[in-house]
Amino acid sequence: MGAVSAAIFTVLVLITLGITYVAARRSKSAADHFVAGGQLSGRQNGLAIAGDYISAASFLGVTGAIALGGFNGFYLAVFVPVAYLLTLLLVAEPLRNLGRFTLADVLVSRFQGRAVRSAMAVTSVVVSTVYLIAQFVGAALLVTALFNIDYTVAVLVIGGLTTVYTLLGGMLATSWIQIVKTGLLLACTVTLFLLILNKYDFNPLGAFNDALHTVGQQAVAPSRTTALAGFDQLSMVVGLVLGVLGLPHVMIRFLTVPDARAARSSAVTAIWVFAAFYLMIPVIGYGAGQLVGRDGIAAKHPAGNLAVVQLAETLGGNLLLAVVAAVAFVTILAVLSGLVMAVSGAIAHDLYGQVLKRGAATARGELTAARFATLATCAVGVVIALAAERQNIAFLASLAFAVAASANLPALLLTIYWRRMTARAVISGMAIGLVTSLTIILLGPAVNGPDAVLGFSNPALVSLPLSLLVSVLVALVLPDRGEAADTGQSTFRSLRLKALTGVS
């Protein structure tokens, strides 16, 4: 890599470190650390939310999946705006009005007790950790490609930088890094999009037609290699659409704004960014497949995770390669920081502050616990990422969405919208959703390859309905009785008033 390219990479990393330094000086309280003091505007937070999702999984993984898999790669991208429309309609305002620092705060606004909080904290840690692995792998592959260093060394470097960002800057630094990198990433995406159009005389369908003529019908039509492939694809779509509503690191962003109106504005802003981004990604994916070549992409990485980097080099030489790779790297670091924030918040605020200390922990104590949790989370992420080098990162992320949809979504929606929901039902549904989804993943091809016990990888179409069914059955068969039931109905009325208006 040349001196100019190295300089671009270094400058962008230094900018993010500068943002972290400024944020660290402004971060004085637990609220500042966990939710940026609730002071982001709606549009600022919308850009940060978009940054959380337009990550390694989207920019690198989806592009690679389309480049190698053709139409099948669309399933990883096309439903994202739909997911955030549901977020706007169902959870944005209630989360802002009911939550404080974590998703568990939303549940305990109706169901008191340590068991409910512990259940949501555990699922938040698991979901965020699974998603964390995809980002670690993507960042390490970029560093490996740019600097020609060992993958293990790259993972360790990423872990160190992520730890610095999260320990020092908290959610405020993470949010502003997300905002800056969203703008940079959109600029890179537009540049690649226009350069590809230029190759095809500005015909937006040129890359698709080229793929049809050189590869054949399988490049532009869905393909299913096994009898359960169609089921797996549908399951993935369900997980991607509904999993967003249960992703802790995305949902807690609605707690970083001052009111419900700003929460709505956040979701609307994010939807517009997603719509623009995902209109360009298919053209970039097919362009990479045709201009770089499928064989060349697979030779660089079997899952195609470096396709967009190779495309940048093909279209713009080493300079564009360095810019795109550096922006993608900063993108991943910001997402990693947000994920670590979600995990450390669940551990420090929920498990330590509210469960272990029974609500008696000081703000300073929670901050200390959050810092220890940050170190542990980064260490675990590094260890697991070392074993996941060859997986497609968009696929890894889709599994995290499936677990989020199965474990968290039924609990959140039924708590907010169903009068007969009980604490026992919340815990039962979350446990079934988490265990079932993880079991299917561990027994499926994602972990065991062709020798897997199950013939499909994505659990959402099985584990989400099962979690929802168990939650409803437990609530109906084992309802609260007597005074507890009367108290529960009163609490639900108060919760609905607060969820809709913000008034306690």
The 10s digit of each residue's pLDDT in 123-164 is 998 888 888 887 777 777 777 766 777 888 888 888 888 888
Q: Has residue 482 got a pLDDT over 60?
A: no
- In angstroms, the CA 187 to CA 276 distance is 11
Structure confidence at residue 137 (pLDDT): 78
Structure confidence at residue 429 (pLDDT): 94
More confident site: 396 or 190: 190
Q: Has residue 56 got a pLDDT over 70?
A: no
- 143 class by beta-carbon count within 10 Å (0-12 exposed, 13-18 middle, 19+ buried): buried
Q: Has residue 239 got a pLDDT over 80?
A: yes
Task: Mention every residue, 6+ apart, whose C-beta is less than 8 A from residue 477.
Answer: none
Q: Has residue 115 got a pLDDT over 60?
A: yes
Structure confidence at residue 466 (pLDDT): 95
Share of the chain above pLDDT 70, in %: 90
More confident site: 250 or 223: 250
Q: Please choose, from the candidates 64, 146, 148, the residue with its C-alpha nearest in 3D space to the C-alpha of residue 313.
A: 146
What one-character DSSP code corresponds to residue 253? G
Q: Please choose, from the candidates 77, 157, 72, 67, the residue with its C-alpha nearest in 3D space to the C-alpha of residue 382.
A: 157
What one-character DSSP code corresponds to residue 452? -
pLDDT one-digit tens code per residue, 364-412? 888 888 888 888 888 888 888 887 766 666 667 777 888 899 999 999 9
Q: Which of 38-42, 422-426, 488-492 has the lowest mean pLDDT?
A: 488-492
Structure confidence at residue 223 (pLDDT): 66
- In angstroms, the CA 478 to CA 226 distance is 42
Structure confidence at residue 2 (pLDDT): 59
Mean pLDDT of 90-104: 86
Q: Where are the alpha helices (DSSP H) in 289-306?
A: 294-300
Q: Please name the residue that has the structure tokens 């637990």.
A: 30
- Band (197; pLDDT cuts 50, 70, 90): very high
Contact 66, 286 (CB under 8 A): yes
Structure confidence at residue 241 (pLDDT): 85
Structure confidence at residue 504 (pLDDT): 64
pLDDT one-digit tens code per residue, 420-447? 899 999 999 999 999 999 898 888 777 6
Mean pLDDT of 408-417: 92
- 387 class by beta-carbon count within 10 Å (0-12 exposed, 13-18 middle, 19+ buried): exposed
Please say whether the dihedral angle defined by the alpha carbons of residues 96, 102, 103 and 104, taken in this order, is positive or negative.
Answer: negative
Structure confidence at residue 90 (pLDDT): 86
Q: What is the pTM of this model?
A: 0.83
Q: Has residue 1 got a pLDDT over 60?
A: no
Structure confidence at residue 181 (pLDDT): 82
- In angstroms, the CA 72 to CA 57 distance is 15
Q: Has residue 483 got a pLDDT over 50?
A: no
Structure confidence at residue 15 (pLDDT): 85
Q: Where are the alpha helices (DSSP H) in 27-147?
A: 30-35, 42-53, 63-69, 80-90, 92-98, 103-108, 114-147
Q: Please choose, from the candidates 48, 74, 52, the residue with its C-alpha nearest in 3D space to the C-alpha of residue 61.
A: 74
Q: Please choose, from the candidates 176, 175, 171, the residue with its C-alpha nearest in 3D space to the C-alpha of residue 28.
A: 171
Contact 99, 252 (CB under 8 A): yes
Q: Has residue 334 got a pLDDT over 70?
A: yes
- In angstroms, the CA 242 to CA 96 distance is 19
Q: Has residue 470 got a pLDDT over 70?
A: yes
Structure confidence at residue 289 (pLDDT): 86
Share of the chain above pLDDT 90, in %: 13
More confident site: 218 or 319: 319
Q: Which of 152-166, 208-222, 312-326, 479-493 has the lowest mean pLDDT?
A: 479-493
Q: Has residue 348 got a pLDDT over 70?
A: yes
Q: Has residue 22 got a pLDDT over 70?
A: yes
